[in-house]
Structure 1
């Protein structure tokens, strides 16, 4: 009964896979919670063990003290960590997830990382007899809390189809974009669009303020036309109110734009506006919008207000 072993639990008349989740940050904590609530028997690992203890107390499931132990006997292993180096740290080595995974298991990486590391780990996974899907997410902390993330995936179609029902538990849209690395490349496109839109919105609102307009009324009017965007709807009024403690941090955006610009050097894409906005975010960091205060990405407008 090998198939029964692959689907460890039986709940409500249907087999459920066993899952593991590595990294319980502002995103992963909620994503792992949705897996457990959906009936997947989930084991979690977090570098700070107290966070894993708190997760188990809230959602159930179990915790492990190494990625390898968390991944042991799991059918799907998820990860959502900081960057390429953090991902390698939880995947590789004696205590890494790959050393604990069984043949045929699937590793789904929800980290926003480089396409280079995605392809590297995909190839290594194949050598060891299991699958790797790069699956970065968009939607921020609110999307994670509400189970409404957009997930863009790269990897093999058969592995994607097996993993998709589990990914669906914390997502509103899940799409296979192409072979390994395609999910990360799509996320890069996403971040380029967000950075450009936020710079445009910052300049527009700064212009509105200097022109003496009621900026909230301006937003109400233009959001009903062609200028409408998610950033305008969700960050416009908080930008007017000079509030920047919502969601995606400046430091994270700079990390992501660094990945974009490094990839562009390889594929020859011209990114003049993205490179400029990246430097604007560097200015915001110098204003203490980085790790000190953890301003969100809409704080670009503070750089323009500073020039008064």
Structure 2
């Protein structure tokens, strides 16, 4: 008898343990590893890494076009240079003595709403517009309603559109072209590509300078077309950017630099506090 009066003898602890971490993903016994029902030895050498990601997350093996789109999104988001905060953090972390895994963890933890969350936010916005269209609202009107609501709640920055560095993001057009090809084949519907382009047209209306779709908006189209939940758009982006993070951390580890800060020591920062002052004798 336990302290709260329950009877231990009535509990099947073997079943309790089995149910505690129950999973549909992997079945392991001595000499056996089955992933979603497939023996691992039958997957090795036959599935690509994007195929394996799809199988793990979705439970089935993707079709060739689905796999190609997922792979394209992964490749496109791998890196954006040392000025990207996650990449810079990985390099600084290594110079401060962290091993590769520590540098990767530090960098990946920055991929939150501001730096890394735009893909998830874009999928959420696309889905809201899709829902309005499904209610009978014309696409252009649905895009305006949902964009206006997003801006009213979150501010003028619209995830997935515009870029602080590229006037036109060189990755977006190629990705959208691949979606168009997949839609022509019937592998995806193309509805999210139409939604994203409607937003792009809305943002260009009445402006002398357009606000084109960026990498986050384009990969969000792919993730939405492939049926991934918005949260997984961010998760898959983290998988992609982890490759760039690892690469930069490894490069930095060979340079022998210590305590690398966010900018060269020769570049002063600007102090904006009070001028030099001193405690008076009776101030304490």
Q: Structure 1 length as normaliser, TM-score?
A: 0.24
- Asked which structure has the greater RCO (Cα within 8 Å, sep 6+), the reply is 2
Identify the structure with the greater strand proportion. 1
User: Larger Cα Rg: Structure 1 or Structure 2?
Assistant: 2
Q: Structure 2 length as normaliser, TM-score?
A: 0.25
